[in-house]
Structure 1
Amino acid sequence: MSEQTSPVVGRDLDAVLFDVGGVITIPDPVSLGAALAPLEATATLVDLVRAHYVGMRAHATSTLEGRGPWLDYIAAYLAEAGVPAERMDEAWRAFTRVFGHYCWRFPMVETVTAMERLGEAQVLLGVVSNAIGQVEGLIRNLGLCQVGPGGGVPVEVVVDSGVVGVEKPDPAVFAPALEVMAARGVDPARIGYVGDSLRYDVAGARAAGLVPLLLDPYDLYGGVDLGPGAHRIGSVHDLLPGPERPEADPAAQLEPEAD
């Protein structure tokens, strides 16, 4: 995904909405790593970050019903974490003691940095996430993003499925965010939605008339049919026009706040 074939802001998009889990935060690899370490897991912190996306790839292609795809997610995560086969049963128990709604709190700083750059380019930003009512406080308290002034990137709207009572892939969960964007003159067809789930994010964004953007930082979805209108991106930075992307002129991006 080195060539810029994804939509870009200005030319194709006027606004970008973001999922939280898997995009702005991921399941905490520090806590999960500590739980798995006694079971001879060999993963480093870097490995465990990747393990989330390996798990989501298994979730996307699972043939199980209901909550079943999450079983495939856990199995793939544990395998990527290097848990020995003979200790898998113990690892499942240790993993599920930590894995839950409040585990999704490890910041993906690359995404937040890209959000900051999008905001500086006058791109309207927002958040739509499946959760249980904790998302707005979580991302504000972590200093990642918030509506209005604060320690993170300013966004126009934060929608939590636990608050509005409907969750992705139901397109109705996007309605509050789309109302805000419509008031600012943005058409849904020019709004990108960044997520890491084919089942929830890509399907929900497509149903809502948005541009689905699957975050695939490890290039795991090559050959997978994402469905009509969807795109893979390796980083949220891919949405910036080529000359404005940090790799175009790394020195120009260095603005240290202190020395």
Structure 2
Amino acid sequence: MRIEIEDLRVAYAGRTVVADAHLIAAEGEITGLVGPNGSGKSTLLRTVYRHLKPSAGRVLLGGEDIRRMTPQQSARHVAALPQERGGDFELSVREVVAMGRTPYKRAFAGEDAEDRDIVARSLAHVGMADQAGRRFTALSGGERQRVLLARAFAQDPDVLVLDEPTNHLDVRHQVELLALLRAQARTTLVSLHDLNAAASVCDRLHVLHAGAVIASGPPREVLTPELMAEAFGVRAAVVDHPLTGDPLIAFDHRATADGAPTARRARIGA
């Protein structure tokens, strides 16, 4: 299912956070949002999963304005993994993942065989099947992130909206999660801080800066040294990854985009 964002403007506390944003997430593709902190990535994603109401513009899901859908209808189409994980759940891991089936259930309806099968598969996808009986509150930050991703999978959505899904994950689980997203082949809109991960996993990127989309396109076309300087204020070279051939961004950690040296912590005894 295709996502189209048209003329989106989001403001709160008297400040415009996203201004006149246009972007597309094509059906079955992974579309990435990248940009510096405070550029509006999370705010834009929150409008897609209806946590925020835009001041202007609209989000189209399969050509239909998502605000015209009931919450239950939109929840059957869009599952979100936000940065804010909410309060600690006094539930088991399996019970948390089973919450993803809520949009399909009538009030007070119990689980059926399909629900149980989907929950089990979702836990297996994120490598948490053997932890189903543990308390969610007893998990590490990375384990909680994987359980919440399983809850999103259990929702069986057409669209996944993920805000920094690799937060709290070690390198191995970051790689596994990104590979899993590729294998899902669902329309996915994801924000990522790691530009090399974005270059590897995303079919298309949209770069946000100060609330505006300043570049869009395939990673190889978007992630240029000039954009690194403009959007992130850093000096970088873009080369081919020796293992995958994807764009690989090599940052100059000794200088900013204008060549000025970065501040360094004085050495003890210097």
Give the TM-score, by structure 1 length: 0.27
Relative to its length, the structure with more helix (as a share) is 1
Relative to its length, the structure with more strand (as a share) is 2
